[in-house]
């Protein structure tokens, strides 16, 4: 059988890795796919740089639309990134009747509804395993392996850069900026690393996971997003002393009133599996009603781990290339006409435990008053620690609460910060046991 022809858009970290893995494992991949998968055209900005990596017989150009419109190309692999040019290219590839493989979570989290609808109408596939958790086949697991289940929640560490930063800061005491620069050098970070640091990249991925888990449309605009830039080194240390570790988590949970969709730093018990996921590794826990909890762990970013997912998609698309579109696995796991309109809940409705840290004047009645504000807001204290603050007459208090409604916690914090003996803002971090 003739080889399947791939047009590769972008030859950076992931594009370069994809090219290398396809070349190195060509025979093994052909045995699995049933035919050879051949990159026959590439588009980049810097042709001379690309030439150093590629064989000389490959067509390399600077116009990605030429690749997308080339009638000999069967599959377009979009590895440019961003959501402007990439969106135009993907929609054009679909219009040209080509299957698409992409690692672009930013694109799909924002324009997934439009892109999947266009692909279904044209009878082509859009595969995106590399868009979530790099090399971990989490999309395949949720979309295919767990189809028997009513999925209850999905939670995990889905951004390698921030997990690398938090791990290095905690274990080696390195400053934030130094570790971020290292993550960029290693090819983990997004072109704009604020996407990583501010939790946006994790929210892109979580949006896709929520759609796959619950059969809801992609709704990135409704995700609650809080990154790690405001995290104090002091809280990382204190969490450790209290038996917790701080991780940037993505959590999406089915509740009777709607679906939680949130990314934020959280304290997780130090003995939990997620607490021990270090460096650029990712881990995703999925809880289904039949299977219980399952855990998926692996490299969440970088050249070849991400290429592993891109190439797996290429093999899938090659195998199904000529299959009847009606019989393919739906893009978002559920049939397009069976999507649910369950609402996404506001962060105010989230129920979890909290870590609250504040500095107060160290004098009689202070604790009693704080306890009353918390009790009035229906917040129950699980434990409390008092330690001397830097200012001699002040004390630092840390409250760990039982589960409470975020709206109540916010209201209590406003009241606490207005009390005359409170000397600092209240640091509020969520706690997740994921039991």
Active site residues: 205
154 alpha-carbon distance from chain centroid: 11
Site map for ligand NDP, 191-230, x if CB under 6 A? x---------------------------------------
Site for ligand HSE in 124-143 (CB under 6 A): 134
- Does position 252 interact with ligand HSE (CB under 6 A)? The reply is no
Token pair belonging to 169: 């800061």
- Does position 13 interact with ligand NDP (CB under 6 A)? The reply is yes
With CB under 5 to 8 Å by kind, the binding choice for 104 among ligand NDP, ligand HSE, none is: ligand NDP
- Does position 426 interact with ligand NDP (CB under 6 A)? The reply is no
Residues 6+ apart with CB under 8 A from 173: none
Residue 191 phi/psi, 5° resolution? Answer: -55, -40
- Does position 16 interact with ligand HSE (CB under 6 A)? The reply is no
- Does position 233 interact with ligand NDP (CB under 6 A)? The reply is no
With CB under 5 to 8 Å by kind, the binding choice for 334 among ligand NDP, ligand HSE, none is: none
Site for ligand NDP in 280-309 (CB under 6 A): 301-302, 306
Q: 3-state DSSP: the chain helix, strand, coil percent, rounded to 5?
A: 40, 25, 35
Inter-residue contact 213 to 286 (CB < 8 Å): yes
User: Distance (Å, rounded) from C-alpha 54 to C-alpha 60?
Assistant: 9
247-281: burial string, b at 16+ Cβ within 10 Å, e else: bbbbbbbbeeebbbbbbbbbbbbeebebbebbbbb
Segment interacting with ligand HSE, rule: CB under 6 A, options 142-150, 156-164, 231-239, 357-365: 156-164
User: Distance (Å, rounded) from C-alpha 9 to C-alpha 11?
Assistant: 7
Contacts of 241-245 with C-beta under 8 Å, sequence gap 24+, read 242/267, 242/355, 242/385, 242/398, 242/400, 243/269, 243/270, 243/271, 244/268, 244/269, 244/270, 244/275, 244/355, 244/431, 245/170, 245/270, 245/275
- Three-class secondary structure of residue 390 per DSSP: coil
With CB under 5 to 8 Å by kind, the binding choice for 234 among ligand NDP, ligand HSE, none is: none
Least distance to ligand NDP, CB of residue 201, Å: 7
Q: Which residue is listed with tokens 């914090």?
A: 413
Site for ligand HSE in 217-246 (CB under 6 A): none
Site for ligand HSE in 290-319 (CB under 6 A): 300-301
- Does position 42 interact with ligand NDP (CB under 6 A)? The reply is no
Nearest to 298 by CA among 113, 135, 129: 135
Site map for ligand NDP, 251-280, x if CB under 6 A? ------------------------------
- Judged by CB under 6 A, the residue of 3, 12, 36, 336 near ligand NDP is 12
- Judged by CB under 6 A, the residue of 78, 190, 313, 406 near ligand HSE is 190
- Three-class secondary structure of residue 313 per DSSP: helix
When the beta carbons of 210 and 422 are compared against ligand HSE, the nearer one is 210
Kindly list the residues in this chain that would bind ligand HSE in the complex (CB under 6 A): 134, 159-161, 188-190, 196, 201, 300-301
Give me the residues that bind ligand NDP (CB under 6 A), please.
Answer: 10-15, 43-46, 49, 64, 79-81, 85, 103-104, 130, 134, 187-188, 190-191, 301-302, 306
């Amino acid at each position: 059988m003739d080889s399947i022809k791939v047009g590769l858009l972008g030859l950076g970290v992931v594009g370069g890795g994809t090219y290398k893995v396809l070349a190195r494992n060509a025979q093994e991949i052909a045995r699995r796919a049933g035919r050879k998968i051949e990159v026959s055209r590439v588009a980049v900005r810097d042709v001379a740089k690309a030439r150093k990596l590629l064989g000389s017989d490959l067509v390399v150009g600077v116009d990605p639309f030429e690749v997308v419109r080339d009638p000999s190309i069967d599959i377009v692999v979009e590895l440019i990134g961003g959501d402007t040019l990439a969106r135009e290219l993907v929609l054009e590839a679909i219009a040209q009747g080509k299957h698409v493989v992409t690692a672009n979570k930013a694109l799909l989290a924002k324009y997934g509804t439009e892109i999947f609808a266009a692909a279904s109408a044209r009878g082509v596939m859009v595969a995106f395993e590399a868009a979530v958790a790099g090399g971990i086949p989490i999309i395949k697991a949720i979309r295919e392996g767990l189809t028997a289940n009513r999925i209850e929640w999905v939670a995990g560490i889905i951004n390698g850069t921030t997990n690398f930063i938090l791990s290095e800061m905690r274990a080696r005491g390195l400053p934030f900026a130094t570790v971020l620069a290292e993550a960029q050098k290693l090819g983990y970070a997004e072109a704009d690393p604020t996407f990583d640091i501010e939790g946006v990249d994790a929210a892109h991925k979580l949006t896709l996971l929520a759609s796959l888990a619950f059969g809801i449309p992609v709704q990135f605009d409704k995700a609650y997003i809080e990154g790690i830039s405001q995290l104090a080194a002091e809280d990382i240390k204190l969490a450790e002393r209290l038996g917790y570790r701080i991780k940037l988590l993505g959590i999406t949970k089915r509740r009777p009133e709607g679906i939680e969709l949130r990314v934020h730093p959280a304290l997780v018990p130090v003995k939990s599996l997620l607490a021990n996921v270090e460096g650029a590794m990712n881990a995703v826990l999925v809880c289904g009603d039949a299977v219980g909890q399952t855990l998926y762990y692996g490299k969440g970013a970088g050249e070849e781990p991400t290429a592993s997912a891109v190439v797996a998609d290429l093999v899938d698309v090659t195998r199904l290339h000529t299959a009847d579109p009606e019989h393919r696995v739906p893009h978002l796991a559920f049939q397009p006409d069976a999507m649910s309109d369950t609402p996404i809940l506001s962060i105010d409705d989230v129920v979890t435990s909290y870590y609250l840290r504040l500095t107060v004047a160290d004098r009689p009645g202070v604790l009693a008053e704080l306890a009353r504000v918390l009790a009035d807001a229906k917040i129950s204290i699980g434990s409390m620690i008092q330690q001397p603050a830097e200012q001699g007459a002040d004390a630092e208090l840390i409250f760990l609460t039982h589960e409470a409604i975020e709206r109540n916690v916010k209201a209590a914090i406003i009241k606490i910060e207005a009390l005359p003996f409170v000397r600092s803002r209240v640091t509020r971090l969520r706690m997740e046991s994921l039991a």
